Amino acid sequence: DIHRRVPVVFRPHLELSEPQNCTELEHVADYSDVYNTLVYVLCAVIIVLHIKHHSTVGSTFLFGVIASTLGLALTPLLLVICGLFTLYRMFVKKRLQKVPGYMGMMDGSDAYWATEQIYARSIINILLMVDFSKLAKEGLKPIEVMRETMKRVVEKASFKLKCKKRLSKFGYYYMEKCNIVMNENVRHIEPELRGKSDLEKFASEIANEPIIGDSLWEVMVGREEVCGSYPVFIRVHHSLGDGYALVRLFLDHMSDKETRVHKFVRADSVIQRLVNGEYNKKAVQVTSSILNRIFTYIYTSIVLAEQLLAPPDRNSLHNRIYLSGKKVCRFMEIDLELLKEVRRSLNVRFTDVLFDCTFQFFGGLLCQMG
C-alpha cells in the first residue's frame, strides 16, 4: 500500500462567548453619568458660593465674565422680548401724543424714580443757607429775590421744570405741561424758625411730604435769619436729575459769578497735546467708549445675577409703614474732621466709619435700655 501523507490543517474553532456578567458595561456608563452629575452640581455650588462671598476686584470681574457669557447664550430670547417691548412703547407713544399737554415720555431712569410709594417718595431735599444782606440793603426781600431767580431757572433750564409727571393707563409715565404759579411754588416757611433745633425739626417734617400741586419742584424761604443766614429749602423730584446736578444748577443761578482773572495759564504737556489732537482724540474717545460699554455690560450682569440669587433684604430700614417725617441730623465741624482723620488712618471709606460709629452708638444705647 502506498501511504500518502495528507497535510492536516488545524482550524481552531473560536466561539465568542457572552461575558459572564452582562451588566459590567452598563455599570461603567452609570458611573460616568454620576460623575458628570457630581461635577455639574459641584460647579453650581462653587458659583453660588462665589456669588455670596466674593469680595476682591479680580474675583468680581471673573464672576462678571461668567455671568455675561451665560447672558450671551440668552441673547436671542432677550432680543425678542426687547423687540416686543419696543413695539409696545412705540404704540403707547403714538397714543399719548394725542393727549393735551403731552411733553414726552419719561426715560428709563426718570420713570424708575417716578414709581414711588407713600412711605418713600423720590424727593431730594436741599437746604441752603443764603446771605441776602447785600440785597436787603437795596430794599429787596428774600422771597422776591428767590421768585425772580426761579423764573430765570425755569426759562433757561430744562423744560421739565414746567411739567408734572403723569401715569398713563398703558403703564408708562409721561410729562404733562402745567402752569407754574411762582407765588405757590416759591413761598414762605409757615412756622417761625428761631434756631437750629427748629430748623432740624421742620426739615424732618417736610422730608417725605409731597410737593405742592403735583409739581416737580418747590422752594420755601425762611421769614427770619437763622444763625446769620436765611434758610432756603429746595425740594425737587428725583426724576428731574440727581442731587449733585440739581445743586449745581441752582447754585449757578443764585451765587455771585467769579470775576477774578487768572494770570497764569498752565500749558498742556506733550502727552496731552498728542492725545488732544483731532485724529488721536477721536481714536481715544472711540476706544474708551467701547471699553466703557464692555465693562458696563459685565458689571450689569454681576448686579442682575446677585439680585436674582440673593435673598430679599428685610430690615427695619425697608419698613412699609408710613412714618410722618424723618430724623435729620447734622455734623459739627470738629466731628467731621475727626471722621476724616479716622478714614485716612484706616484707609477705609467714609461710610464705613460713619456706619461703625452709628452702630456703636445704638449698641451702647440698647445696652443701657436693657
Reported confidence tier of residue 220, pLDDT bands at 50, 70, 90 = very high
Taking residues 16-31, report their average pLDDT. Answer: 50
Q: Amino acid identity of 227?
A: C
Q: Average pLDDT over the chain, rounded to whole?
A: 74
Taking residues 202-223, report their average pLDDT. Answer: 87
pLDDT at 7: 46
Tell me which of 58 and 16 has the higher pLDDT.
Answer: 58
Distance, in Å, from the CA atom of 122 to the CA atom of 333, rounded to the nearest integer, reads 29
pTM of the model: 0.59
pLDDT at 264: 42
Which tens digit of pLDDT belongs to each residue from 155-190? 887 788 888 888 888 888 888 888 888 888 999 988
Least confident range of 81-95, 219-233, 252-266: 252-266
188 within 8 A of 233, measured Cβ to Cβ: no
Taking residues 198-225, report their average pLDDT. Answer: 86
Distances (CA, A) of 92 to 89, 106, 295, 300: 5, 12, 33, 28
**In angstroms, what is the C-alpha Rg of the chain?**
35
Residue 167 makes CB contacts below 8 A (sequence gap 6+) with 114, 173
Distance, in Å, from the CA atom of 150 to the CA atom of 154, rounded to the nearest integer, reads 6
Q: If you count them, how many residues does the chain have?
A: 370
Residue 244 clears pLDDT 50, i.e. is over it = yes
Question: Could you say which DSSP state residue 215 is in?
Answer: -
Greatest mean pLDDT range, 69-78, 183-192, 335-344: 183-192
Reported confidence tier of residue 60, pLDDT bands at 50, 70, 90 = low
Which tens digit of pLDDT belongs to each residue from 119-164? 778 888 888 888 888 877 778 888 898 888 888 888 887 788 888 8
Only one residue has cell 403714538, namely 94
pLDDT at 354: 80
Residue 87 clears pLDDT 90, i.e. is over it = yes
pLDDT at 16: 44
